[in-house]
Every structure is written in structure tokens, then in C-alpha cells.
Amino acid sequence: MLSNGFQHTLDYAKQMDKEDTLRCYREEFYLKPNSIYMDGNSLGLLSKRAERTLLESLEDWKEHGIDGWTQGNHPWFFMAEKLGAKIAQLVGASPEEVIVTGSTTVNLHQLVATFYKPEGMRTKILADELTFPTDIYALQSQLRTHGYDPETDLIRVKSRDGRFLEEDDIIEAMTDDIAIIVLPTVLYRSGQILDMKRLTDEAHKRGIVIGFDGCHSIGAIPHSFSEWGVDFAYWCNYKHLNGGPGGVGGLYVNRKHFGTMPGLAGWFGSKKDKQFDMEHILTPAESAGAYQIGTPHVLSCAPLIGSLEMFIEAGIEKIREKSLKINQYLIDLIEHELKDMGFFIGTPREDVRRGGHVSLEHKEAARICKALKENGVIPDFRAPNIIRLAPVALYTSYAEIWEVVQILKKIMTEKQYEKFKNEREVVA
């Protein structure tokens, strides 16, 4: 018997699958035979609904040509707004506060260009040393654009252990010279959830604008961006939301900032009834739509239409409930089956602090990941020593989790990993 009533038998896993209220969605996805997909936190699988809405959008193009902007199954002109309204239900925002547009890095550039307004002694940007590299590159670029030195003006909060961030340390770094704060909602390596409400409250007490990178939380955990007063957020839609490789990203802007001119202006940020007036003076949309730059990538938006249908039906609270349960099952099985094999679980144990994946550390991680793939398990490797395993609520079964841990045990017992080099592939 494991913690929280879990058991380590296959029969127990199968019973959990029978009781799973989301089990019907598993049939909605294209699951490769003889393979267990554990990398949904990097790229979610294709669903039949996403395929359907992509094909419908292709049909719109074929049937209507230019008139597809206003006709067909999914008219293109308002597609970004309609998708934004659906995602707003997942992030705790009003429909007007969310837009589907751009990519993670482009949206970060837009939001920092809009809200980073260095003045007087407030010139620095606050981030953290564990955040995803693209965020740091973008922030360094923005500082250079304003004539500041990233070496001195980009402050990165230190981690005490290389895995987690302490909110107390972040708050201590909110000094009088900070103009804007950009932090992850969920740390991409360890899966730690930051206390966004507390951090937002503390930033605002000090007159600092704060925003969050939601790439590793969108579709996996509930958010309450508007209630918390978060100034802005941005994310990709191809991980837990299963929007497709390189799919269009999303951003949130709190309505209190509506009317703030976009730092990077483009014609799709226009007020809809003014856009085709073709004036050389921008009349921005009175919503998050103002922070679009270019024409929506329609065929990259299209799969998200179908994918979001499932998230709205299932509800993010139920998705989170299963995610917590199946991740805890994975953790318990690892602790039970892989004792004394050199593994360390580098993910928070508390539900309130754990996102949608488990970070499994081992000195032979790269080799173990290759052995897992040879055994039909698709994991994710992050240098230097992390195996990320992501049970996805809509399509991962408890029986698969049981099997993954048994395969890991076999790999370690038989030392199957030793035939591989302990180095990452080109795409980890």
C-alpha cells in the first residue's frame, strides 16, 4: 500500500482507469501502438477534433478563397478573439483580456515593449535564474534596445537549491530600482508552481508591473489572472493544450491596462471596425486584441479550435484533479519500485506547488531517456540530469504509468542504459 491509498499493482491501476471520469477523452487522441507518450509538457498529441477543425479550415480556404475571412466554418477575421474567449475560461480572465496570437517570445517582446517604462531610478528588470532561456534572451534584448546593460540591469533571483524558487527571495529582490517583473507560472524543469497571487500583491505594493510566462501551466492548472490582478501573461498553446507543433501562442492583458498603446504596433491590433479604413494612425482595439501585431496564422490556429472544445467540456478543475492524482501515482510508484537506483524526485510534493509533470533526476539521465525510447516510452530530457515525465489528464492512463515505472526498473536492473552515450540528442 502506498501513500494516499495508492497500491503498486497493475490491477489497482486498471481499477483507477475504470473510475477515471475523463477516460472517454483518451479515445479522442491519436495514440501510437506499443508506445507510451510521456512528453505532453513539451508537445501535446494530435486529437481527432484538432485534425477535424484544421481540415475544416483548409476546406474554408478551398471553398471560399478570400471570403474565408468572413465566411465558412471558422471565419478568420475574428478567429483570434474567439479562441481567446475560450482560453479565458482556463486562465481566469474575461474574454476581452485574452487573445491568441504570435508566439511565446514574440508575445513577451510585445508585452515588455509595452509595459517596461524605465524612469528615474526604476530601470531594472527582475526575473529568475531558473526560467526558460528564451525569456532571458528577450529581456536582455529589450534592455539593450533601451540602452541598458543586461549584465547590471537584468536581475535574476537565485535558487537556493537549483530546483526551486522561494517567494520570499523574489519579494526581497523587489527593490526600488525594479521597473517590471517577469516570472514563470510553473518552472519548466522542476514543475514548481509559484504563488502568483502573493507575488502580484507584493509587486503592486511596490508600484511594480508584473507578468508571467504560462507555457508550462496553461491547460494543466487553473489560473485566476484577473482576480489576482496580474498585469500580463503569455504562453504557447502546443504543450498541455495540444494545439500543434509551433502553434500560435496567447497573451493576457489585465483590462486596467486597456488603452495602453502597444509597444510593437501592427495592423491586426486595430479596432476591428477601423482596421480596413487603412489609415496611417492606429486605432487600437479596446481589448487584448490591441497587442496583436500581424495577421493570424490561421492554419496554426485551426487545430486549437478542436482541442479547446475538449478543455471546455471537461473543465480545467477536473483536468487538474486527475493531473494531481496521476502524477502522485507516478511519484509513489517511483518511490516504491526504484529505491536505491540513484533517482531523485526534483518536483514539489505539495499539490499546491506541483504543476503537470514530474522531474526525475539521475546522473545517467540522458542514457536512461534513450533506453526508455528504445522500450517504447517517450520521455523528455533536460540537461544535465533531468528526465521529465508528464502524464496528461486527457489521454494518459494509470496502467501506462504503472508500465512506465516497470520499464524504468527493468532498464536499471539490466543496465540497458549503458549502451548509450550520456549526452542529449540534437532535440532533447
Residues annotated in the binding site for pyridoxal 5'-phosphate, as ranges?
104-105, 132-135, 213, 216, 238, 267, 295
The CA distance from 123 to 119, in Å, is 6
Q: Which amino acid is at 267?
A: W
- The answer to whether the CB of 223 falls within 8 A of the CB of 87 is no
Length of the chain in residues, anyone?
428
| 29 strand-pairing partners | 47
Rg for the chain (alpha carbons), in Å? 22
Annotated binding site: 104-105, 132-135, 213, 216, 238, 267, 295
Give the list of residues 6+ apart from residue 188 with CB closer than 8 angstroms, or none.
131, 132, 215, 216, 382
Residue 422 Cα distances to 68, 319, 327, 371, 417, angstroms: 51, 35, 26, 11, 9
